[in-house]
Chains A and B, each alone.
Chain A
Amino acid sequence: MNELIRRDFPILSRMVDGKPLCYLDNAATSQRPKKVVDAIVRYYLETNANVHRGVYKLSQEATDAFESVRSKVVRFLGAASEREIVFTKGTTEAINLIASAFGESTVGPGDVIAVTRMEHHANFVPWQQLAKRKGARFEIIELTSDLRLDPKEVDRVLALKPKILAVSLLSNVTGVTNPVASLASRFKLVGSTIVVDAAQGIAHGEVEISRLGPIDFLAFSAHKLCGPTGVGVLWGREAVFSRMPPYQVGGNMISHVGDLDSEWNELPHKFEAGTPDIAGVIGLGAAIDYIETQGRTRIQEYEDRITAYVLERIVSIPGLRLLGPKDPHHRAPIFSIAIDGVHAHDLATFLDMRGISVRAGHHCAHPLMLRLGLPATCRASFSFYNTLEEADQLIDALKSAPQFFRRKSS
């Protein structure tokens, strides 16, 4: 990757307190290239009309632009058809949709719902609450000491034949990638429905449905992929989608409304009640175009380089604890760190004073943080537009942190 890419992102050349922005909070949200913002503006200025409604040309143009993004997502994920792609507000809404429309009608008392210890709240709480409502058992697959899924735990939970397995492609805290394809194959044999949270995974390398094994659902948000906030995608197998009742009811999702009952629109519109975020979806389309122009393989190769580069240097910093695996395999450039005797907030402020934007906190992963016994960590997460110089900036700052926070007594 080269400096030219950075010019596509106007925000990357801004200053923060007189220092160049070093944006390392990409796991929270990515930045957007100008092309994405332009596409949204162009839609509002030139094509704005409601979709699936009007008989006039402008409405047809808006509908075509909107639906062409659905086709783009089909290609991007390697899905079978547009009927498998539902636009949502984001990953969280997508998973709530599954937990509600699929879970409510599938899970009963005594059934098992399984998640992993590394799930984001978005792929944890909906399942925990579904289990609570249904009197089902909620099982958590625990992790090894380097915070990968523990194979013994996988076996234990597999033996319980869960109705649903909800697992992320990649952890937003540790950057660990999960072997989703092999998990899916094994859990499918015991009858599980497999839900994949690709909120982080989608931004790091190729996400192709056919390579993920017999999964049933996959969700991601546009804003982690250089697209706008407020838009996400839920992919689901048509056979599963067609058996599910709607999630929300109202406009757009009906085919016929009588006084006493209604009939639902065909897939995927059955799951898209109300006017969608048309501009947001068009922005997602521009983001996919942008990512594909850069090349997902090329992005992954570059990110692997950053991962290896940072790991090699970060593990040798005295007093610094890196959560998760120290080897670069099956790992994304997301680094959660803790420094002895320094609270994550203090460390984040210290880095911010040097222009480095990182996240401090629990990263919406209370169950994992609780297990680690850490109230908070600092997380630096890279994207393909970050440079090795920025990695050096982070490493140098971390090296000088112990001196900055040195106590009087020591």
Chain B
Amino acid sequence: MNYRDVFGEVLADHHESPRNWGLAVDAEIRENGFNPLCGDKVTLGLKMRDGKLVSCTFEGEGCSICMASASIMTEMVQGQPLDRVSGLIEGFRAKMQGEDRPDVLPSEDSSEDIVALYGIKRFPVRIKCALLPWTTLKKGLETPHA
């Protein structure tokens, strides 16, 4: 048995080859997320235009689940209207904490990468690892900017 058998190919792949890695030079907001209990760190580079999140890049240092979650998140929110992004963040939080909001997030049988993160619920102590990039994004979107 190996990591892929337990956490799946999608998580392993996002961890090993993170998407949107490296903060975009034109990022207008940099938001840091840190979990002081375990040391997971993530920094997001954000750029918004006309009510959309046009760019979301990241860097960080953390466990495989935190990093894969960040990678999957950036792919999912890139180019989306801000209210849609907020809905996804809230939907993901609810999903991780066991509340079901089927309208917001892809269903379990969808082929989207985020489905791979749903399984983290089986490891309750790791939920905070998966959530860190999402709560950091929420903070970033709430940052007042010109």
Contact = CB atoms under 8 A, between A and B. Distances in A.
Interface of A: 343-346, 349, 353, 360-362, 369, 375-376, 403-409
Name the 3 nearest CB pairs between A and B, nearest first: A375-B39, A345-B63, A343-B63
Contacts of B41: 375
Nearest to A403: B2
6 contacts: A343-B63, A346-B63, A349-B126, A353-B6, A375-B41, A404-B2
Given A343-B63, A375-B62, A404-B1, A362 B126 contact: no
A169 B39 CA distance: 26
Given A345-B38, A376-B38, A408 B12 contact: yes
A371 B52 CA distance: 41
B141 to A, nearest CB: 26
A375 B61 contact: yes
A409 B16 contact: yes
Given A361-B38, A404-B2, A405-B3, 11 more contacts: A343-B62, A345-B63, A345-B65, A345-B129, A346-B63, A349-B125, A360-B38, A361-B37, A361-B39, A375-B39, A404-B3
Nearest to B126: A349
B40 interface: yes
Contacts of A346: 3, 63-65
A162 to B, nearest CB: 29
A349 B16 contact: no
A369 B36 CA distance: 12
A345 B126 contact: yes
Contacts, number: 50
B89 to A, nearest CB: 22
Nearest to A374: B39
Chain B, interface SS category: mixed
A121 to B, nearest CB: 11
Interface string B16-39: 100000000000000000001111
Q: Which of B12, B39, B126 has the most CB of A within 10 A?
A: B39
B38 A405 contact: no
A263 B88 CA distance: 62
A86 B125 CA distance: 36
A48 B77 CA distance: 60
A376 B61 CA distance: 10
Of A362, A375, A403, A405, chain B has the most CB atoms within 10 Å of the CB of: A375
A71 B125 CA distance: 42
A360 B37 CA distance: 9
Given A346-B63, A346-B65, A408-B16, A362 B2 contact: no
A42 B36 CA distance: 40
A269 B27 CA distance: 60
Contacts of A403: 2
Given A345-B129, A346-B64, A406 B39 contact: no
B6 A406 contact: no
Contact of B63 (A344, A362, A407, A409): A344
Contacts of A343: 62-64
Max chain A Cβ within 10 angstroms of own Cβ: one of B3, B6, B40: B3
A349 B123 contact: yes
Interface string B35-57: 01111110000000000000000
Contacts of B16: 407-409
A309 B2 CA distance: 28
B33 to A, nearest CB: 13
B2 A405 contact: yes
A361 B126 CA distance: 12
A369 B12 contact: no
Nearest to B128: A345
Contacts of B38: 344-345, 360-362, 376
B71 to A, nearest CB: 15
Contacts of A408: 12-13, 16
A409 B2 CA distance: 15
Contacts of B64: 343, 346
Interface in B1-17: 1-3, 6, 12-13, 16
A361 B128 CA distance: 13
B8 to A, nearest CB: 13
Contacts of A375: 39-41, 61-62
